[in-house]
């Protein structure tokens, strides 16, 4: 496994085109599909990945999620998840 890179606040993550994030009604969950398989995501992971649209920075994603949790600072967890997602190849960072 690749070592996780530190995600900068200004980094703009997007879903890697080799992966597809979609809602699976039978599983009642978002999944990440890729040629070798599928990963069922928990609610928090899906919420973060759904915001990785190539338009928002990591700081904007963290701020938006914080608003959804009554203003609680969730930035550390968001950055950790983005780092892990980047290491797994689920997301890439726009230049």
The pLDDT tens digits for 1-52 are: 344 468 999 999 999 999 999 999 999 999 999 998 999 999 999 999 999 9
Q: Are 90 and 48 in contact (CB under 8 A)?
A: no
Q: Are 31 and 38 in contact (CB under 8 A)?
A: yes
pLDDT of residue 69: 82
pLDDT of residue 1: 36
- DSSP H helices, the chain, are 43-50, 58-68, 75-88
Residue spans per domain, the chain? 13-90
pLDDT in tens, 53-89: 999 999 999 999 999 888 788 999 999 999 999 999 9
CATH code reported for the domain at 13-90: 1.10.10.1150
What sign has the CA pseudo-torsion 31, 32, 37, 41?
negative
pLDDT of residue 53: 97
Distance CA 44, CA 61 (A): 12
């Amino acid at each position: 496994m690749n070592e996780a890179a530190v995600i900068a606040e200004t980094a703009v993550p997007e879903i890697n085109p080799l992966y597809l994030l979609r809602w699976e009604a039978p599983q009642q969950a978002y999944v990440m599909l890729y040629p070798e398989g599928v990963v069922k995501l928990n609610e928090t992971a899906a919420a973060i990945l759904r915001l990785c649209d190539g338009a928002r920075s990591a700081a904007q994603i963290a701020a938006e999620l914080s608003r959804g949790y009554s203003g609680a600072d969730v930035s550390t967890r968001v950055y950790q998840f983005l780092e892990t997602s980047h290491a797994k190849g689920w997301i890439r960072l726009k230049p």
